[in-house]
Amino acid sequence: DTGVSQDPRHKITKRGQNVTFRCDPISEHNRLYWYRQTLGQGPEFLTYFQNEAQLEKSRLLSDRFSAERPKGSFSTLEIQRTEQGDSAMYLCASSLQRGGTDTQYFGPGTRLTVL
Amino acid sequence: QKEVEQNSGPLSVPEGAIASLNCTYSDRVSQSFFWYRQYSGKSPELIMSIYSNGDKEDGRFTAQLNKASQYVSLLIRDSQPSDSATYLCAVNRWEDTGTASKLTFGTGTRLQVTL
């Protein structure tokens, strides 16, 4: 069990540029979540997948954000036309959903800075 | 009212003492409760999960859940300087699918263990 991995760990970009982040979940996990965390706040839900299906997307998520999990394994999160308000830590978590429980394990995160 | 509320702290306890961290939640259909530890600049690390009323112990950590009062707490016995971190309370609820999914986090309580 190698844990959840994320790439890159840090990204600095200029306003208006597009960025893409990758998450590789724990291998047998069927669910994958994306959260965003800003300083002094708890993580905020963005979206999640069960296998390759995107089951929920936060109402707070701008149309500039899109996520995919094409083969039910790794996932990508793309932010188009970045804004300074997008600066945050983007966290990926995975879980093996069975029965009613869903224990999520987080990756190291990708810290995005938009200049 | 926030869905999950925590005192932001800092909570300062001397080394060897018991640290008591508290969390209240507003959604009565919340089913699963988690405590995560987050060191500065790092991602959340799962410490404990609890699903039923009562106490659950794991080493120096004890989680307590009272669904009638919508209250969950974490006790850390024999606190060590390495326990100094932000502790995040998270809850998830049954969705229409009959399973639990996204986590809702509090803002976290910063714990400082002093020598």
pLDDT of residue A22: 98
> With an 8 Å Cβ cutoff, is B46 touching chain A?
yes
Please report, in tens digits, the pLDDT of each residue of chain A (115 residues total): 589 999 999 999 999 999 999 999 999 899 999 999 999 999 999 999 999 999 999 987 889 999 999 988 999 999 999 999 999 999 999 999 877 678 999 999 999 999 9
Rounded to an integer, what distance in angstroms lies between the CA atom of residue A66 and that of residue A78? 5
Tens-place pLDDT, residues B48-103: 999 999 999 999 999 999 999 999 999 999 999 999 999 999 998 777 666 768 99
pLDDT of residue A50: 92
B26 Rama sector, left if φ>0, alpha if ψ -120 to 50, beta otherwise: alpha
Closest CA relative to residue A31, chosen from A55, A59, A51, A2: A51
CB contact under 8 A, A48 and B98: no
Distance from CA of A39 to the nearest CA of B (A): 9
Q: For residue B27, which residues of chain A lie inside 8 Å, CB to CB?
A: none
Rounded to an integer, what distance in angstroms lies between the CA atom of residue A41 and that of residue A24? 24
